[in-house]
A and B are shown apart, each in its own frame.
Chain A
Amino acid sequence: NAGVTQTPKFQVLKTGQSMTLQCAQDMNHEYMSWYRQDPGMGLRLIHYSVGAGITDQGEVPNGYNVSRSTTEDFPLRLLSAAPSQTSVYFCASSHRGPTYEQYFGPGTRLTVT
């Protein structure tokens, strides 16, 4: 079991560029989510999905898009990167939902200049 994997580990973007952060899990978990972690802010939920074809917004969804075409994959798209999106991004999965044990990926450190 690889658990939750994320690519890339590091990324530098220029303002206005778009990109996709990849997330995959091999535990057959229904629930997947994206968090961003900023210094002094803790983890904040961006988007989540309760199953293939179903996604919803979290606390800080603006500027991000998600889709869930398979149980395994949950990519996060930055539509037009802004310096305020400089952060560490974590993908997580859980068997049933956020109120069960969540398994986090290793994170993607994104810098927008």
Chain B
Amino acid sequence: QQPVQSPQAVILREGEDAVINCSSSKALYSVHWYRQKHGEAPVFLMILLKGGEQKGHEKISASFNEKKQQSSLYLTASQLSYSGTYFCGTEIPGANNLFFGTGTRLTVIP
């Protein structure tokens, strides 16, 4: 039930773009994205509901393809502050909790 995230880690230079993928073997109601900086608590980024809508704030956006049971997080023109580990959490029918992926570690260097 745990979603699979890819890649496991990525290193970017400032200004470069990145895509983080989250894939589930189960049908999904929603996908949630969180970012966790080293030694800190996870912080909510966004929720995507069924319907394939793309959401975003500033230069971080995401899409949700419910037929493929996948979500992608897009980081454009990356900044140093984007460094951290990104987790997706998936909501499946019949479960009263999220299942989190193992995370993608993003490092942005000058």
Contact = CB atoms under 8 A, between A and B. Distances in A.
Same assembly = yes
Nearest to A35: B100
Contacts of B2: 42
Contact of A105 (B41, B99, B102): B41
B87 interface: yes
Given A99-B29, A101-B44, A104-B41, A43 B100 contact: yes
B103 interface: yes
Contact of A97 (B41, B96, B103): B96
Interface string A78-113: 000000000000100000011111111111000000
Interface string B4-44: 00000000000000000000000001101000000011111
B44 A42 contact: no
A26 interface: no
A52 interface: no
B101 interface: yes
Contacts of A105: 41
A40 B40 CA distance: 16
Interface residues of B, number: 21
A48 B43 contact: no
A99 B41 contact: no
Contacts of A45: 97-98
Contact of A99 (B40, B43, B91, B103): B91
Interface of A: 33, 40-45, 48, 56, 58-59, 90, 97-107
30 contacts: A40-B102, A42-B2, A42-B87, A42-B100, A42-B101, A42-B103, A43-B87, A43-B89, A43-B100, A44-B100, A45-B98, A56-B96, A59-B99, A90-B42, A97-B96, A98-B91, A98-B97, A98-B98, A99-B29, A99-B32, A99-B47, A99-B91, A100-B47, A101-B44, A101-B47, A104-B41, A104-B42, A105-B41, A106-B40, A106-B41
Given A40-B102, A103-B44, 15 more contacts: A41-B102, A42-B2, A42-B101, A42-B103, A43-B87, A43-B100, A45-B98, A59-B99, A90-B42, A98-B91, A99-B29, A99-B91, A102-B44, A105-B41, A107-B41
